[in-house]
Each structure stands twice: as C-alpha cells, then as structure tokens.
Amino acid sequence: MQIGNFHHVTDKLCPRHQTYTWQSNDKVKAIDRKEPYYVEVCPVCVQEKIDKELTEITGEAVLNAELSQTYDLFERKSIITPKLQSASYKTFTVSGEIDKQAKDFGLWLNEYYFKNEGTGNAILQGRPGVGKSHLTLAIARKLNEDWKAIKKPKSVLFIPVNRLFQTIQASFNKSDGMSRDEMMKLLERVDYLFLDDLGKESTFGNHGNEASNWKQEFLYELLDMRGKTIINTNLNGEQLKKVYDPSLVSRIMDGVGKNIFVYPEHAEDRRKLPF
C-alpha cells in the first residue's frame, strides 16, 4: 500500500504495538551512516516519542515559570539581615541540651510541613538572643529546598515583622517601598510565611502599650487569610494578650496544636558578651 510518494506500509509488525511498520520508498542518506538506507519505523512508536518530548518541554517551561513564583521567591523577596545571611541548619551550632531540643523541634516541624503536608501555624517562643531567628530561617530554607527537590516547589518567605511595617510605612509618603495592599497580596498568597520577631513592632518593651491599630489590623487580615504561618516571638502568652487584641491572638494561635516550642526561661543568650 502506498502512502503518498514517501513511504509505504510493510507487512512487519512493531513488537511493542503490533502495528504494521512504515518504510521509506527511497533510500535516505544520513550523516552517521556510510550507505543510504531505507527508514523503517512504527508510527505509534514515533507518535509516543513526539508526545513524550512535548510533555518534557512543556513540563520544563511550566516548572521554570512556577519556580520564579515559588522557589526563587525566597531569595528575591525575603528580608534577611546581613547577620542572618548564612543562617541554616548547617551553621546552627548545638552547644547544649536546649539547642538540641530547639533543633530537633525545627527538624520535626520541617517533616510536619513537608512529609506530612501539615497545616496550621507554628510558634517558637523565647527570650531575645536564644537563637530563634537563626532556627526559623533554617526551617524556612530547608522547606524551600525540600519542595524543590521533589519538583513541587512551594513559595516560602521570611520576613522580620518590624521590617515589614517599616517597608509599608516607607510607601506612605514616598513611592518606594511596597504599599500595604501590595504587601498584603504577596504575603497572603505565600505557601509558607515565616514571621520573625513578632511583637518587636509593638512598643510593649518600652511603654507597655498596645501595638498600633493599623499594624494589628494588618496582621489580623493577613493571618485570617492564611493557613501556614510560622512565627517566632519574644512575647509569652500573657504578653501577647497585652499587646494584641484577643481576636488577633486567636489568629496567631490558629491550628498551632503541637507546633510550638518554648525555650526554657534559663535558656542561654547565644549573643552573650565576653565580659
């Protein structure tokens, strides 16, 4: 049987598809062959190969586009102070039982959010200087890497709360900084949001005042829209209740359950002065 002038159907079957193969009517020349030869193919095998390549190309493009919205977002949009630039599990030193417990909690939380695809918020609470920010950042980085490693990248952001509000405040008068709405849009869509040092933005430490209203409203609106927010704070439960409205405190505690680590009162200040 003739198909056009180029090839015909043979009486040989493709061993995989039980389809009759096609053979070129004329011999063709190929760079990697010495002699011209008849090309014989199974049409189903060819189609499968084309489909597979297309899927791979499209899949890669989708993944790349997704990565810029997800994995890369961490480095692009997180606010990480120079001091914490290298903070990860690798640089987390364990110099005592409390450090070990804190690190174990961090690794457990990584498993909870990654392997178990857990939901709800998480809290790390302790006095200033116990290493909360370092550990929080280590958790964030690992989560970002773990999801990427299995080609299901998720968006992860690390933001110090006081810097968040400074950025919004900067946009009040000037055109730089991110406006409140832009910031809200970004933060509410992120898969895993890490809020560093919640409470620092309040004037609690200085005057015992409530955090200002617009900040509380922002946090309430944000947490109300979100599922997985990992928060570290110097404030204990009683202090949280003094600084924030009860409705905000309940959003902070949303789904926390077992996802909470409280550094013991006597936890050593890792930034201890040498005198």
Residue 12 or 241: the one with the smaller Cβ distance to Zn ion is 12
- Cα 198-123-156 angle, rounded to 5 deg: 80
- Least Å from the CB of residue 47 to Zn ion: 9
- Least Å from the CB of residue 58 to Zn ion: 23
- Least Å from the CB of residue 12 to Zn ion: 11
| 173-to-96, 168, 176, 177 alpha-carbon distances in Å | 47, 10, 9, 10
Question: Residue 162: is it exposed, middle or buried by C-beta count within 10 angstroms (0-12/13-18/19+)?
Answer: middle
Chain-centre distance for alpha carbon 253 = 21
Q: How far apart are CA 39 and CA 48, in angstroms?
A: 18
Q: Contact residues for Zn ion (CB under 5 A)?
A: 14, 16-17, 42, 44-45
Residue 14 or 39: the one with the smaller Cβ distance to Zn ion is 14
Residue 16 or 152: the one with the smaller Cβ distance to Zn ion is 16
- Other beta carbons within 10 Å of 241: 13
Residue 13 or 57: the one with the smaller Cβ distance to Zn ion is 13
Strand partners, 231: 123, 195
- Least Å from the CB of residue 22 to Zn ion: 11
Residue 14 or 260: the one with the smaller Cβ distance to Zn ion is 14
Q: Please choose, from the candidates 259, 254, 258, 255, the residue with its C-alpha nearest in 3D space to the C-alpha of residue 219.
A: 254
- In single-letter form, the type of residue at position 178 comes to M
- Least Å from the CB of residue 42 to Zn ion: 3
Strand partners, 23: 8, 40
- Least Å from the CB of residue 16 to Zn ion: 4
Residue 45 or 184: the one with the smaller Cβ distance to Zn ion is 45
